[in-house]
C-alpha cells in the first residue's frame, strides 16, 4: 500500500468531507430516493429516482476514495520542520525570471493540492524541481507552456511560525 504524504490540515479536511458525505449527503440521498419511489413507483421512467440514484453512486464512490486516502495517509507534522532547504510542507516564494511575477506555493500532498489556494502537490513538476533547493537558487521547470525559470526568493514554514506565536 503506497502511503500518501499530507499535512495535518489536509488530513483534517479530507476527514471532514468524509464525515459530511456519510452523515449528511448519504441520508439525504436515501431520503430523496425513497420519496421518488413513493411519488412514482415506475422506476424506469422516474427521472427524480434516476438522478438521485446517480448522485448516490457518485457520493459512494467519493466516500470510498476518501476512506482509501485517509487509510494511506502519512501525516507530516509541518510544525516540526524548518531550515532553508525546500522539502514537503515548505511555503516557497518564487519569482518568474521572464515576467518578474511573484508566486507563493506551499508543497503539500496530492490529496490536498489546490493551485487556486497556493497549494501544489509534491508530485507536480514545479514541486519536484524545487525539492532540495534553497533561497537564492534558480530552478528550471518544464511546464505545459514550455520551459520556465524561477528564482527562489524565500523558504518559509508557516505552521512552525504559527505554533511559536501560539506558545508565546
What is d(CA 111, CA 121) in angstroms, rounded to the nearest whole number? 8
Q: pLDDT, tens digit, for every residue of 83-92?
A: 889 999 999 9
Q: Is the pLDDT of residue 163 over 60?
A: no
Q: Where are the domains of the chain?
A: 4-76, 78-167
Query: What average pLDDT does the chain have?
Result: 89
146 backbone φψ class: left, alpha, beta (φ>0; ψ -120 to 50): left
pLDDT of the residue at 157: 87
Q: pLDDT, tens digit, for every residue of 94-141?
A: 999 989 999 999 999 988 999 999 999 999 999 999 999 999 999 999
Q: Which long-range contacts (CB under 8 A, 24 or more apart) does 102-107 make?
A: 102/153, 103/150, 106/158, 107/131
pLDDT of the residue at 111: 87
**pTM, full prediction:** 0.77
C-alpha closest to that of 1 among 101, 56, 71: 71
Q: Which fold has domain 4-76?
A: Helix Hairpins (1.10.287)
The CATH number assigned to the domain with range 78-167 reads 3.10.50.30
Q: pLDDT, tens digit, for every residue of 21-74?
A: 999 999 999 999 999 999 998 888 899 999 999 999 999 999 999 999 999 999
Task: Check if the beta carbon of residue 140 is closer than 8 Å to that of residue 126.
Answer: no
Amino acid at each position: 500500500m503506497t502511503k500518501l504524504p499530507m499535512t495535518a490540515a489536509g488530513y483534517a479536511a479530507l476527514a471532514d468531507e468524509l464525515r459530511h458525505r456519510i452523515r449528511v449527503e448519504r441520508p439525504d440521498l436515501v431520503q430523496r430516493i425513497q420519496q421518488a419511489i413513493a411519488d412514482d413507483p415506475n422506476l424506469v421512467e422516474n427521472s427524480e429516482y434516476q438522478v438521485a440514484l446517480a448522485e448516490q453512486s457518485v457520493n459512494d464512490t467519493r466516500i470510498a476514495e476518501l476512506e482509501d486516502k485517509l487509510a494511506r495517509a502519512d501525516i507530516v507534522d509541518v510544525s516540526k520542520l524548518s531550515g532553508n532547504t525546500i522539502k514537503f510542507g515548505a511555503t516557497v516564494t518564487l519569482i518568474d525570471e521572464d515576467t518578474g511575477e511573484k508566486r507563493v506555493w506551499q508543497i503539500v500532498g496530492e490529496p490536498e493540492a489546490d493551485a487556486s489556494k497556493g497549494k501544489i502537490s509534491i508530485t507536480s513538476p514545479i514541486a519536484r524541481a524545487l525539492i532540495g533547493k534553497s533561497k537564492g537558487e534558480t530552478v528550471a521547470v518544464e511546464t505545459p507552456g514550455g520551459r520556465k525559470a524561477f528564482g527562489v526568493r524565500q523558504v518559509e514554514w508557516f505552521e512552525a511560525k504559527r505554533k511559536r506565536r501560539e506558545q508565546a
